Chains A and B, each alone.
Chain A
Amino acid sequence: AQSVTQPDIHITVSEGASLELRCNYSYGATPYLFWYVQSPGQGLQLLLKYFSGDTLVQGIKGFEAEFKRSQSSFNLRKPSVHWSDAAEYFCAVALNTGTASKLTFGTGTRLQVTL
């Protein structure tokens, strides 16, 4: 069965600092990969997705992620964090685009931003 690991439960960064959130997946083939963000009391908002093609994908709010097949990773990055980025971030995978309704999520990374 596919699985997703987000090794960092909680990360604290200073406003203006760079950010990298880690995501590793376990699956025999290349899955379809997503990053979602959840603000307190809210639903999940899609930041970016990778289906195929260029392994560096750009998302909303200045986020990007890089797919590395050799490392089974899909890490999320942002060059300069804003206080409004404080939230919980989830990496998710799907077997293929046809099953994008069947997502497997990581356990999430809570980001705290200090001023």
Chain B
Amino acid sequence: NAGVTQTPKFQVLKTGQSMTLQCAQDMNHEYMSWYRQDPGMGLRLIHYSVGAGITDQGEVPNGYNVSRSTTEDFPLRLLSAAPSQTSVYFCASSYPGQPQHFGDGTRLSIL
């Protein structure tokens, strides 16, 4: 089982560039989420989705966009990267009412 797959694993961007972090799961999970992890702050929810076509904001949504066109994929878009978005990003998925499964993360540096 591949589980939750995040690509790329590492990325360096310049301020103002855009990019998409990819997340795919092969467990047919309805729920998917994006978190960012910063030192001393734990993980904070960016956006989440309870099914294809349905997304909502989490605790720290500013500067990020998401869409959910299929059950399997939940990409996270940075439209104009800022140094404050340097972080480790985690995607997670689950069935309703069940604990989340996490990917291995994408380490993003913005110069």
> Which residues of chain A are near B59, meaning CB under 8 Å?
104
B30, chain A: closest CB distance, angstroms:
9
Give the contacts of A66-115 with B (CB-CB under 8 A). 90, 92, 97-98, 100-108
B13-21, B75-83, B96-104: which lies at the interface: B96-104
Tell me the interface secondary structure of chain A in the complex: mixed
Contact across chains for A100 and B90 when beta carbons are under 8 A apart: no
Contact B94 A100 (CB under 8 A): yes
Query: In the complex, are the beta carbons of A43 and B104 less than 8 A apart?
Result: yes
A46 to B102, CA, bound (A): 9
Given A43-B90, A46-B99, answer yes or no on A103-B45 (Cβ-Cβ < 8 Å): yes
On chain B, the number of residues with a Cβ less than 8 Å from chain A's Cβ atoms is 29
A43 to B104, CA, bound (A): 4
> Which of chain A's residues has its CB closest to B40's CB?
A107
Chain B contacts of A100 at CB under 8 A?
31, 94, 96-100
Residues B45 and A102 in contact, CB atoms below 8 Å apart: yes
Contacts of B42 in A (CB 8 A): 4, 90, 105-108
| CB <8 Å contact, A102 and B58 | yes
A36 to B32, CA, bound (A): 17
A-B contact pairs, 11 of them (CB 8 A): A36-B102, A42-B105, A44-B102, A46-B99, A98-B96, A98-B97, A100-B97, A101-B48, A102-B33, A105-B42, A108-B42
- Residues on B lying within 8 angstroms of A by beta carbon are 4, 31-33, 35, 40-45, 48-50, 58-59, 90, 92, 94, 96-105
